[in-house]
């Protein structure tokens, strides 16, 4: 369904962040149409932007360069709608992250390999979840567009009936 998924480049990520700063989150089509970002984000859809922003798939810019990030752990996460199934993932506090990093520094090579294998498994699961969310978002967007078209057609029909009633009554 849709085009094959492509990895986000650092340039695309920075264009997305700049677009969100300029236009605000949720203005995905506006960001895509903006000449400042359209050249960089031409291969991305508004759903791609939304999913990337929401789930922070593979955040590369701050963490690969070893810089500390001012990004909150909760930034970009949406509240789960009521009635949805909540999985076993819980957000980590900054202190928990610091403890985990300290533990990693003192690992043996075997422990590090096991932790890396587990991290890869968790990352693959998160990517699969993000892809599923992207599919759901695309389906919801298609449903919304269909509902919009139906509403416009219904309003046009009502308007035409009122016009016809006025002509008949004259």
Q: What is the pTM of this model?
A: 0.36
Are 1 and 70 part of one and the same domain? yes
Q: What is the pLDDT of residue 89?
A: 56
Q: Judge whether 85 lies within some domain.
A: no
Q: For residue 28, count other CB atoms closer than 10 A to its CB.
A: 23
The position carrying tokens 């590369």 is 60
Number of residues assigned to the chain: 170
Are 124 and 145 part of one and the same domain? no
Are 5 and 58 part of one and the same domain? yes
Q: What is the pLDDT of residue 155?
A: 92
Q: Judge whether 86 lies within some domain.
A: no
Q: What is the pLDDT of residue 40?
A: 87
pLDDT digit string (tens) for the chain, length 170 residues: 455 677 888 888 888 888 888 988 888 888 889 988 888 888 888 888 877 777 664 444 444 444 444 444 444 444 444 444 445 556 778 888 888 888 888 888 898 898 889 999 999 999 999 999 999 999 999 999 999 999 999 999 988 887 777 777 76
Q: What is the pLDDT of residue 88?
A: 52
Q: Judge whether 101 lies within some domain.
A: yes
Q: For residues 152 and 132, what is the distance between their CA atoms, to the nearest angstrom? A: 30
Are 40 and 68 part of one and the same domain? yes
Q: What is the pLDDT of residue 12?
A: 86
- Quote the number of domains for the chain: 3
Q: What is the pLDDT of residue 129?
A: 92
Are 6 and 64 part of one and the same domain? yes
33 touches 25 (CB < 8 A): no
Q: What is the pLDDT of residue 99?
A: 86
Q: Compute CA distances 131 → 20, 57, 157, 163, whole Å.
A: 22, 10, 39, 48
Are 28 and 61 part of one and the same domain? yes
Q: What is the pLDDT of residue 6?
A: 77
Q: What is the pLDDT of residue 137?
A: 92
Q: What angle do CA 13, 5, 56 make, to 5 degrees?
A: 40
Q: Judge whether 152 lies within some domain.
A: yes
Q: What angle do CA 115, 119, 122 make, to 5 degrees?
A: 140
Are 45 and 105 part of one and the same domain? no
Q: Judge whether 146 lies within some domain.
A: yes
Are 55 and 117 part of one and the same domain? no
Residue 164 belongs to what domain range?
138-170
């Amino acid at each position: 369904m849709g085009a094959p998924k492509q990895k986000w480049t650092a340039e695309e990520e920075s264009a997305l962040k700049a677009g969100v700063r300029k236009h605000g989150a949720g203005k995905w089509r506006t960001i895509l149409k903006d000449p400042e970002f359209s050249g960089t984000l031409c291969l991305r859809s508004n759903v791609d932007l939304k999913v990337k922003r929401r789930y922070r798939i593979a955040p590369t810019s701050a963490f690969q360069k070893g810089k500390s990030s001012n990004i909150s752990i909760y930034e970009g996460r949406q509240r789960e709608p009521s009635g949805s199934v909540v999985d076993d993932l819980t957000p980590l506090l900054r202190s928990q992250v610091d403890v985990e990093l300290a533990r990693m520094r003192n690992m043996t090579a075997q422990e590090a390999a096991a932790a890396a294998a587990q991290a890869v498994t968790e990352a693959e699961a998160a990517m699969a979840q993000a892809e599923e969310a992207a599919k759901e978002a695309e389906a919801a967007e298609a449903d919304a567009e269909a509902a919009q078209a139906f509403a416009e057609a219904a309003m046009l029909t009502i308007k035409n009936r009122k016009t016809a009633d006025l002509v008949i009554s004259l």
